[in-house]
Structure 1
Amino acid sequence: MSSSQDGFMTEERRAIQAMAREFAMKEVLPIANELDPVNGEIPMELRDKMSELGFFGIMIPEEHGGLGLGAFEYCLVAEELARAWMSVASIMARGNGLVGGFSEEQRARLLPKMARGEFLGAVALSEPEAGSDVANISCRATRTDGGWLINGQKMWCTFADGADYLAIFARTGAEIDPRRRHAGISAFVVEKERGTLPDGISGNTVRKIGYRGWKTWDLSFDDFFVPEDAMLGQEGRGFYGAMSFLEVARAHTAARAIGLARGALEDSIAYARQRVQFNQPIGNYQAIRFKIASMATDIEAARQLMYSVCAAIDSGRRCDTEASMAKLFASEMAERVTSEGLQIHGGAGYTTDFAVERHWRDARLTKIFEGTSEIQHRIISDSLLGKVAEAR
């Protein structure tokens, strides 16, 4: 689909977009159509091709082997990949400096491998009682000779088995202070063998309805040892590290949602042209035409908001409220548009013979991860109204 992108697009960005679109439609979409219905995993060959194109290093500086580009280019590529398979647009984020706070030594040693797709990560952050409420982390790391012992539970750790390292968030400080619950949380980067869970970590896979192509895990840590130099940044500052990348993460989720919605739109246009009822294509009926017009308008509105947020991020301007707006609007839009796409397909849409059901299932997740729609509403309203004072 074309769009009015002239205010943001350069020739370089158009070339990146075209390259990513060709890769997504020729390489990713056929694999998604084959493997998603049978819950197959993203092939290593596809990841290798992504590495060759530099997708894992878009935002990594050139001096560390990356492309040295910004959030705008990162989200351009993410939209194109998500249009084919959201999981592939998501695995791209497992490079690109997944977590911040690396020391200079860690950056020099690890970022070049990350840019080449050889060092991809998984984040162990959420817990049974710490989902949206990240500050409620109870998984604990206690000091021992030469490092730390981690004990506790983690949930929703996608790619824990396939990753080359785990970013683990655990409480190293004293007992939780009700007034400063975020204090005392530290982050650790633990290198591991790809395809396994290290000794001291056990897990069970989550039975998901979508987000296929890779596994999501619930993890248990039982005296899991990490060395002293595995700590990421300063002790007790892990919460801030987890929050620091959220503007980019939420723009990335908006891009993925837009890609999913675009997939539903494009598939619906094709279906409306070829599906004949009452002796004519259903695309001739006003009810279908107006649905498609509204779908396209919603997608373009979300895209332009996402572009604006990416431009702000790349300029260095703080835009956490606007990033929440983009994530909220795009994810809500994606569920609505993909549902309309399924409706246009009729009974065929409720089968796995058409990709629109995949777009619909995956769009539903965008309203949950990287902060639920309810959390985004809270962030935006707090920015506009201020936080509500406690009653006395």
Structure 2
Amino acid sequence: MSKTPASAELYQRAFLQLIAEDKTISFHAERGREFLYRPGQLLVGAEDQQRVVEKLRENNIIARPGEGFAGLARLTLPNNEEDIPRIVRLLRDQRNWPNERVPLVQPHHVIVGHGGLVMGNPGDRPYPADPVSAPKFDERLRDVRVGIVDTGISSDADSEHSEWFDGRYAKEADDVDAAYSSGDNFALQGGHGTFVAGVIQNAAPGVTFDPEIGLDPNGFGDEERVCRKITELGQHKINLLNLSLGCFTADDVASEPLRRTIEALPADIVVVASAGNQGTQRPSWPAALCGVTAVAAAQQERDGSISPAFYSNWGHWVDACAIGNRASTYLKGEWQLPGEAAATPFALWAYWYGTSFAAPLVTGRIAATMVSDGIDARQARDKLLAGPEFHSGYGVFVK
């Protein structure tokens, strides 16, 4: 797995086609500065809203106030829906604010799951896998609670994977992954959350988890929805939060809604996030935020050797890495991308790769270290990250 499989091109095309057809997603395609955003929306510091509205008016841009979130105001620009990147740069330019502070302003970024990719970079669908033996539960882990913001969980995960999930999460209708695009055919990231939950359970057998939906079955969400789910989980007395998702941003400026939301969590919660799969040093958010444990991917070859994954993001902001190609819990259904001659059936297990599946391994290992050493989540994280760097820009390797 040292290069992109042929099926990845079809996967890429399917993602890009979805974006092209979805009127709620816009793609800024400037090379090296790509990002996804909600058309016609600006997020502005609440204290800067009036100044920004006036500056926009000077430039003949109509702005209407909308409902804000994460302490930010929202402006809608009905006549400039696809012009958001240019307008953000205009508003961030100090020359347009003589003798004034530049306002806090950004697009409303679209967030993606890190099991599939957009923007012309490596990404692939899952493949059928043989069942994985259920790990032996450690009952001490029942008292450790992991929050997961993802695509949700399979409606029958507790029965179809009873040895993995039964009694380990509270079944709630609004946490069920829709998973399928039509019939039994999987959406592009259908089952992503169930796969992630299995990786955590394998690394910390018996841990309690709380799945929340921040991404749709194709793997798309946005800052508003993800921030709302993070806040909800922060109120549920979790110890750890796994975020196998992220976004690039306009000019690589940190996502302000994610920063504020994560900083507002109780101080004892450890947040683990995937670094992204575009094979670049560009920061992915929330992984690159200060205080978030950013996880890159290593890959294990058939001969057992381990090396940096060709698809993984990396850089000074990455704290750890773990093997990203693995088998885990999945759903029943079929995969057939546009251009594939036949559907591929799945029977509850899948093999997938991405930083999405390295991050939950680290999350699980932190949970397991908490109970084995009798320490809290932050102490467990610090212990795991105390080793030498695996490879430049990949952080500490976590087994």
| TM-score category of the 2 structures, normalised to the smaller one | under 0.3
TM-score normalized with structure 2 length: 0.26
TM-score normalized with structure 1 length: 0.26
Question: Higher RCO, 1 or 2 (CA under 8 Å, sep at least 6)?
Answer: 2
By percentage of residues, which structure has more strand?
2
By percentage of residues, which structure has more helix?
1
